[in-house]
Amino acid sequence: MHCALYDAGRCRSCQWIEQPVSDQLTAKMNDLHKLLAGIAVKEWRAPVSGPEQAFRNKAKMVVSGSVEKPLLGMLHRNGNPEDLTDCPLYPASFQAAFAVLKPFIARAGLTPYNVARKRGELKYLLLTESQLDGGLMLRFVLRSESKLEQLRTALPWLQQRLAQLKVISANIQPVHMAIMEGEQEIPLTEQRALEEQFNGVPLYIRPQSFFQTNPAVAASLYAAARDWVRGLPVKHMWDLFCGVGGFGLHCATADMKLTGIEIAPEAIASARQSAEKLGLTDIHFQALDSTQFATVQQDIPDLVLVNPPRRGIGQALCYYLNGVAPKYIIYSSCNAQSMARDISSLSGYRVERVQLFDMFPHTAHYEVLTLLVRE
């Protein structure tokens, strides 16, 4: 793929961009084979990839520059700002949105936050698009509430020009140079969630909850998990680290009991909304720590699906699973290294099937779906 910003040395985030995607896939498969070298794998499925560009549904833009001439993009290590509104990973609709957002920042008087001087208000713009209808969610990450009224007053101008904006909120992040988002989220529209749909399954995107950023590949991943689960005698399953419920909602049937566990309450609100829309009643989504939930359960399911953050599921959950021994485990991971470590801590399981999903093209990262069966 070609990226003018990469060629000009202005952004080097896509370190593999110069290699054809087929070579990238080969290198990722080699990496996965190496990480699982000590483990017998019965079936390797062919890797799944999606579009090479315009595949991201989300932009996280650092706002810098001046209020009259804001830049949306990132800061280099030396603190110099870079405008990335032309990044080819975003859909064309984002460029149109950025073109309206820049003058809006000036109209609303949202002075970009200056990291070196610790001054200014607007730190980030977070933009997400639904594939269902092109609806947009926009979040303003602000240093404080001091410009909130100005923002509210100016919003109708923005909404008139970007009719696809459905969900708008302000996130307050008072801490300097800390994680991107703060705890306080202030809704600025009545609509609080953006409706999405993968494979006919309704999903809801909200502020403060994880949502997959490559919708085409994520839809294939969820569909694969659904097909694998439907091929097994599963009447009761857990979806741990479930986020907005994508895996569980795909797998659930009217005669299956599903429990979904996720730490972020906003993600659980989305998952419950989907379950209600699907009319499925034996679905129980709860905002809890996965390990704390699991370790006090008596009713052990046929299948436990896990999709943890990069750190993996951890020793405590592995030991617990060894003890209660569900018949099947499906492990979906964005970090094959921690997944390989966790699998080697699981005893009494054979690896039935492995499939790579190229969720993060042009980088060394990938997603992998693994089915483990009790011996």
Question: β-strand 81-83 against 236-240: which pairing, if any?
Answer: unpaired
Question: How far, in Å, CA of 312 to CA of 336, rounded?
Answer: 9
Task: Report 127-146 residues binding ligand SAM (CB under 6 A).
Answer: none
194-198 and 201-205 beta bridge pairing: antiparallel
By CB under 6 A, residue 199 contacts ligand SAM: no
Residue 328 identity: Y
Q: How far is the CB of 97 from ligand SF4 (least distance, A)?
A: 16
Q: Which does 193 bind (CB under 5 to 8 A by kind): ligand SF4, ligand SAM, none?
A: none
**Number of Cβ atoms within 10 Å of the Cβ of 327:** 16
For residues 14 and 110, which CB has a smaller minimum distance to ligand SF4 in the complex? Answer: 14
Site for ligand SAM in 320-359 (CB under 6 A): 334
Choose the contact partner of 242 out of ligand SF4, ligand SAM, none; CB within 5 to 8 A by kind: ligand SAM
Q: For residue 251, say whether it is annotated as part of any ligand binding site.
A: no
- Is residue 80 part of an annotated ligand binding site? no
Backbone angles phi, psi at 114, to 5 degrees: -105, 110
* Residue 361 to residue 275: CA distance in whole angstroms: 31
Give me the sign of the Cα torsion angle 283, 230, 235, 348. Answer: negative
Q: Which of 36, 89, 168, 172 binds ligand SF4 (CB under 6 A)?
A: 89
- Residues in 155-194 at the binding interface with ligand SF4, rule: CB under 6 A: none
Which of ligand SF4, ligand SAM, none does 87 bind, CB closer than 5 to 8 A by kind? ligand SF4
Catalytic residue list contains 318 = no
Smallest gap, in angstroms, from Cβ of residue 8 to ligand SAM?
33
Residue with tokens 């990044």, as numbered in its chain = 87
Distance CA 214, CA 210 (A): 12
* H and E: helices and strands count for the chain: 10, 17
Q: What is the closest distance, in whole angstroms, from the C-beta atom of residue 73 to ligand SAM in the complex?
A: 25
Contacts with ligand SF4 by CB under 6 A lie at 3, 5-6, 11, 13-14, 17, 84, 87-89
Annotated active-site positions, please? 334
